[in-house]
Structure 1
């Protein structure tokens, strides 16, 4: 309910905690007072004077409905209460009300602070588009619409947060995305009754099917082409305002080892690179535990020539293999964390020089052996092959408990760790869909989307894992035809 002029201004100011940057401009137009309310540090002052104040001065007859129709600004909304107007003003809008009018008007003249479009930092590519998303949700939606021109593209707005409301957009292609998946995402978002959402990575954790697992269940990307490719496969994207990353769901375990570069490269090269990534992850998890298990319990499996080399290398090491391995792994993690937190150029120098100096010093001091230095270095390199930072961090964490199992029970301990890991992955889901698909449940036709790459003509159907409404991408028969110009 709107009251007198003073009550209105005082109530809006009270909703804004009497902020010192709250301003009120009075304009007299044809005997009626018009009041424009705004926060001075959030608006574009040129728009305010040119498109709002000057326009109101020029009007012969003034009313809220007339302003809503004629103001030369795209985003205009009518407010019924002071609380609603104050909420808009916090986002950089200007509030307008006219004496003897029951309703108010808000116009969007916000001046957003955002960085320019840049190359992706966490997902580097050799081929393909390099542009990444920014912290502005409006800019991100505009980038998405430039990449996906499908008329069925849907962007639904949901506000999350009680004290600090934040705009979230659920995006999907209406006739491709599974309706159950869409409704599940919207239901989980609408049921979040929290103070605020800081970032999309935090929101992804709130939407997890399994909160206590170390495995990421939703893919985070800053590449518009990767989101576009995922939407066309039947997945759903979630934008969060002020976050440069987008949530993609549902995902599988193998999604975290794919890159959009796999699409741009020849199919044979993509298959080889995927295999290299999987072998790198396998080596990152199991090389150090295998060293501990073999040296502690199963040294008889080592060839005699190599056993002499390892024995000579460990002759000066006073610690058992497990302490030796944990020491080096911990040192590698310290170097990695220090390099990530330091400025870019200093961090690179710290990682390279620190690794060389500390590794050589550890061998000379008798803390570790030369062989383990090589093994730990290969393990560290293997963890970097994961395109997803979250999955790479998960792989590094898994290495430590498996090293301890290898120290207690040797190869049997490693097999116990693998069994527990497989059982855990088999039980996991992402948005209610199997996490290990297409391995479990087994779907032969989806293997080309997970482990291997085939020529483009074989991708005439969308992956069944996402349960798309329209599974057909193009005609198989037409794709298999080869016609020359002279035919």
Structure 2
């Protein structure tokens, strides 16, 4: 008769097989009260071994006859043994003690997930103000927000997304200020997410946005806690995850993408001026190349005679139409931009400067493009980079191509037609069912000035409203 296997060894083998004998999975027997044997489980890549040894030594020496196991505390929880929950808790960075005798497991929270220290976001530099940014850790991110909003009205809710990844998604809002309809919509859309792997905020945005096929982002992305706080104060909702330093904020409007913390950290007049300049840059970035193509292709007569003759002499030796000139230069700038992003910082800056100068000079000297087209495309690139939001920046760079094509075939008529289509799209676009062009549509005369002007903080005022959050206390 074959010798019966030790039950303890059977459980150990089963546990290790359940975790596919992963190199960092630790499962070992430990002595318990009254010679009872339990099994200690944890991931050594997530949990500090010395912390486990220290806490185990402490608890072992404090077991008493009238306490068969540790009671529930801040760091421990006793629950019935469940294999699925066991796997989830271990992947969350917890240490588990499995009691074979009572079929219970004791959760010990000793996580040591690796994450970066807070630093200023690379894509959201400010001249004045906070230098802190979000990191890939939920608790750190929430603490950055809570230390700025010391109010019990700040609510944090959690959900888990991804059947395999079990990623923590948290959404924050201010009770009594939040837009309740937008909050309900976010909760409904989060509940409908059913995917195996969740690894980026881009996935989350696809599920939460009203129109994923629109070139315009409908959720504001930021890595700055101060910007999140300002949005929460306006009745918006912020969504953060453990996987990214980027928070999603909604509902948002088109004009929110053109505001920066520097608007409020600096002088009223200068803040207002630069806000208007950024909005004007949208018009330049989208329409300037198309406007130039329309002029040189169909409408030379609107230019002063001297300027007209100068442009004609500049382009007379170019072997193809202005649209091809513009596309060549635009694609060259996009290639240089992509190369400078992918390369290390020092090398990327060199590529951007040297590449732009060398290629620009060579392409003009070769007679492939005109000097005027280089000037137009350079102004356009600068105008597009003024936008504080990287996502809106990408949308603007994309939009100029359809307008260039329309201008090359139909001149000003094509630009006007494209502008009407763009305006109709913007007016019909929504963010969490709220108008994207608010406060223009629907028109709000009390808030319209905030698009262009930064009002001074003379005295405490009512909570600012981007849409229709409830007033505090009502």
Please classify the TM superposition score into its range, dividing by the shorter chain length: over 0.9
* 177-186 vs 218-227, greater mean Cα deviation: 177-186
Q: Secondary structure at the match of 1:381?
A: helix
* 457-466 vs 290-299, greater mean Cα deviation: 457-466
How far off its partner does 1:316 sit? 2.0
Distance 1:306 1:56 in 2: 89
Counterpart in 2 of 1:113? Answer: 114
Which aligned pairs between 1:6-17 and structure 2 lie closer than 5 A?
6=9, 8-17=11-20
Counterpart in 2 of 1:379? Answer: 380
Contact (CA 8 Å) 2:30, 2:38: kept in 1 or not? Answer: yes
Per-residue CA deviation, residues 360-419 of structure 1 (Å, 9 max, x unaligned), is: 111111111111111110000000110000000000000001000000100000001100
Which aligned pairs between 1:43-442 and structure 2 lie closer than 5 A?
43-61=47-65, 66-69=69-72, 74=75, 76=77, 78-442=79-443
* 303-312 vs 407-416, greater mean Cα deviation: 303-312
Contact (CA 8 Å) 1:68, 1:78: kept in 2 or not? Answer: no
For structure 2, the 5+ residue unaligned runs are 1-6
Distance 2:262 2:185 in 1: 30
How far off its partner does 1:438 sit? 0.5
How far off its partner does 1:253 sit? 0.5
Contact (CA 8 Å) 2:38, 2:100: kept in 1 or not? Answer: yes
RMSD: 2.0
Contact (CA 8 Å) 1:161, 1:193: kept in 2 or not? Answer: yes
* 409-418 vs 50-59, greater mean Cα deviation: 50-59
Distance 1:348 1:15 in 2: 49
How far off its partner does 1:242 sit? 1.9
Q: 1:124/1:75 Cα in 2 relative to 1: closer, same or farther (>3 Å)? A: farther
Contact (CA 8 Å) 1:63, 1:98: kept in 2 or not? Answer: no
Q: 1:75/1:327 Cα in 2 relative to 1: closer, same or farther (>3 Å)? A: farther
Distance 2:351 2:453 in 1: 37
Q: Secondary structure at the match of 2:446?
A: helix
How far off its partner does 1:315 sit? 2.4
Counterpart in 2 of 1:35? Answer: 39
Counterpart in 2 of 1:20? Answer: 23
In the alignment of these two chains, the number of paired residues is: 468
Per-residue CA deviation, residues 209-239 of structure 1 (Å, 9 max, x unaligned), is: 0011111000010000000111011110111
Contact (CA 8 Å) 2:233, 2:464: kept in 1 or not? Answer: no
Q: Secondary structure at the match of 2:409?
A: helix
Q: Secondary structure at the match of 2:72?
A: helix
Distance 1:203 1:10 in 2: 38
Contact (CA 8 Å) 1:406, 1:413: kept in 2 or not? Answer: yes
Distance 2:168 2:428 in 1: 33
TM-score, with normalisation over the residues of structure 1?
Answer: 0.92
How far off its partner does 1:293 sit? 0.2
Distance 1:291 1:332 in 2: 18
How far off its partner does 1:141 sit? 1.1
Distance 2:164 2:199 in 1: 12
Contact (CA 8 Å) 2:133, 2:223: kept in 1 or not? Answer: yes
Distance 1:192 1:75 in 2: 31
Q: Secondary structure at the match of 1:158?
A: strand
Per-residue CA deviation, residues 392-449 of structure 1 (Å, 9 max, x unaligned), is: 0000000001000000100000001100100111111000100011111111112243
Per-residue CA deviation, residues 98-143 of structure 1 (Å, 9 max, x unaligned), is: 2421321111222211111111111000011011010111111111
Q: Secondary structure at the match of 2:405?
A: helix
Distance 1:456 1:302 in 2: 46
Contact (CA 8 Å) 1:68, 1:105: kept in 2 or not? Answer: no
Distance 2:322 2:460 in 1: 48
Contact (CA 8 Å) 1:77, 1:107: kept in 2 or not? Answer: no
Counterpart in 1 of 2:4? Answer: none
Distance 1:99 1:197 in 2: 34
